[in-house]
């Protein structure tokens, strides 16, 4: 096996795009050690490694669709609570940095130092950045969970004393950890769009959602966190779910080269633009903090613009679904009977279930994360955290 070109004293030092790609392939089989001691992750279903499933079991609620096959078929060979045929981008990130898959917090609340020594995942499928009461006041209901980013942050603060026994020890722990803040905020808009809210009213939610994300980052900075990955929103106009919701829109509203709805993608870009401005404000106030914006939008758009280059044959049709133009039906989601069948080759699809990505797409999204890590922190040499 080839040895990793990355050492604990110089985690990343390559700049040429081809060398970045080669290095990513190498580290997929030779984990990078020495950059961080832990990973703490917050977010929604794009990052949930089993939290909603654990919550549903503990509260004796209806199990989510992620509890049933064919979810998990490609890598785990059984459902794990991930809304995917295999690994998520956060799984690839953990693997490549030399960590085990992040355990879901709500599945092991009493895990403590031993269980969560290398990190923990607080992301919950359906979670929003804004809390449920704020959304309810505006007529938006969350049909999946009442957990928001604030709730996840409170869970983290509740757990922290079991991971470190003093403020200096906690500062050291968080200073040596990677914080993955999202993707979060997408469901604030998803629920509103699904419930028929006018797009101009939904746009009014964006500054509030972005401010919540920024506030969470600032709160974690005060606790001692130093390095953040902050993913932006994806091009929702390319989602089979949204394409189904708004099927029949004027042809002028579609991008002829991708089949995506341009006005929805513009909405995603609006969220991302405001998010980047807020992150820049934090950087200016705290130049000692590493905040890496993860450009999920443009990384994913590569799939839709040049699918063959990434090995994809289907971009805007779901692998697992109940039929229709985009193989998506909101009332018959992947995993719930009778939707137990899926395409024969998920690796040739971008979308797994109409909303979430396949393992194949998640692997490329993780590559995008590493591209931005390399380009955002000079040679990564300053992250000598061990």
* Tens-digit pLDDT profile for residues 77-119: 999 999 999 999 999 999 988 899 999 999 776 665 568 889 9
Whether pLDDT at 212 is above 80: yes
| 158 catalytic per annotation | no
| Residue 288: active-site member | no
Tell me if the bond preceding 90 is cis, omega within 30° of 0: no
Tokens of 90: 């956060």
Instruction: Out of 48, 91, 188, 353, pick the active-site residue.
Output: 353
pLDDT mean across residues, the chain:
88
> Which entry of 23, 38, 45, 155 is annotated as an active-site residue?
45
Which helix (H) or strand (E) is 291 found in, with range? strand 290-294
Say if residues 179 and 153 touch (Cβ distance below 8 Å): no
**Residue 30 falls in the annotated catalytic set:** no
3-state secondary structure 336-359: CCCCCCCCCCHHHECECCCCCECH
Bond prior to 338 in cis (omega within 30° of 0) = yes
Determine the average pLDDT of the residues in 225-247: 97
* DSSP 8-state code for residue 101: P
Domains of the chain, CATH where assigned: 34-312+365-376 (3.40.50)
Catalytic residue among 38, 66, 148, 356: 356
**Residue 213's pLDDT band (cuts 50, 70, 90):** very high
Q: What is the mean pLDDT of residues 356-362?
A: 98
Instruction: Give backbone dihedrals phi and psi of 238, rounded to 5 degrees, phi first.
Output: -100, 0
- Residue 169: the pLDDT is 94
22-35: pLDDT as tens digits: 455 444 444 454 57
pLDDT at 4: 31
Residue 249: exposure state from Cβ atoms within 10 A (0-12, 13-18, ≥19):
middle
pLDDT grade for 264, boundaries at 50, 70 and 90: very high
146-181, pLDDT tens digit by residue? 999 999 999 999 999 999 989 999 999 999 999 999
CA distances from 308 to 304, 369, 386 (A): 9, 21, 41
Q: Judge contact between 103 and 116, C-beta under 8 A.
A: yes
């Amino acid at each position: 096996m080839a040895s990793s070109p990355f050492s604990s004293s110089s985690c990343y030092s390559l700049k040429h795009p081809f060398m970045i790609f080669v290095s990513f392939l190498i580290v997929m089989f030779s984990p990078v050690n020495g950059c961080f001691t832990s990973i703490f992750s917050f977010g929604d279903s794009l990052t949930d490694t089993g939290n909603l499933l654990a919550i549903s079991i503990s509260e004796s609620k209806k199990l989510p669709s992620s509890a049933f096959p064919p979810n998990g078929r490609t890598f785990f060979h059984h459902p794990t609570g991930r809304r995917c045929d295999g690994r998520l981008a956060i799984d690839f990130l953990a693997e490549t940095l030399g960590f085990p898959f992040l355990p879901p917090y709500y599945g092991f609340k009493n895990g403590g130092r031993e269980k969560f020594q290398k990190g923990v995942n607080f992301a919950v499928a359906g979670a929003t950045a804004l809390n449920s009461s704020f959304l309810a006041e505006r007529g938006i209901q969350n049909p999946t969970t009442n957990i928001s980013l604030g709730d996840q942050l409170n869970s983290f603060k509740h757990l922290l004393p079991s991971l470190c026994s003093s403020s200096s020890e906690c500062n050291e722990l968080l200073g040596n950890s990677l914080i993955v803040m999202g993707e979060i905020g997408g469901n604030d808009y998803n629920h509103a769009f699904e419930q028929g809210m006018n797009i101009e009213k939904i746009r009014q939610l964006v500054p509030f959602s972005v401010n919540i994300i920024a506030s969470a980052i600032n709160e974690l900075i005060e606790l001692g966190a130093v390095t953040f990955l902050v993913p932006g929103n994806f091009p929702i106009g390319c989602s089979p779910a949204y394409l189904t919701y708004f099927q029949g829109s004027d042809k002028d509203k579609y991008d002829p080269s991708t089949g995506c709805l341009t006005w929805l993608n513009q909405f995603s870009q609006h969220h991302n633009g405001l998010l980047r401005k807020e992150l820049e404000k934090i950087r200016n106030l705290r130049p000692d903090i590493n905040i890496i914006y993860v450009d999920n939008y443009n990384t994913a758009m590569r799939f839709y613009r040049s699918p063959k280059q990434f090995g994809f044959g289907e971009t805007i049709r779901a692998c697992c679904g109940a039929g229709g133009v985009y193989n998506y039906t909101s009332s018959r989601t992947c995993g719930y009977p009778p939707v137990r069948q899926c395409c024969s080759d998920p690796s040739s699809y971008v979308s797994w279930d109409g909303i979430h990505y396949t393992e194949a797409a998640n692997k490329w999204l993780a590559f995008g994360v590493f591209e931005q890590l390399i380009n955002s922190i000079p040679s990564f040499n300053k992250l000598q955290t061990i």
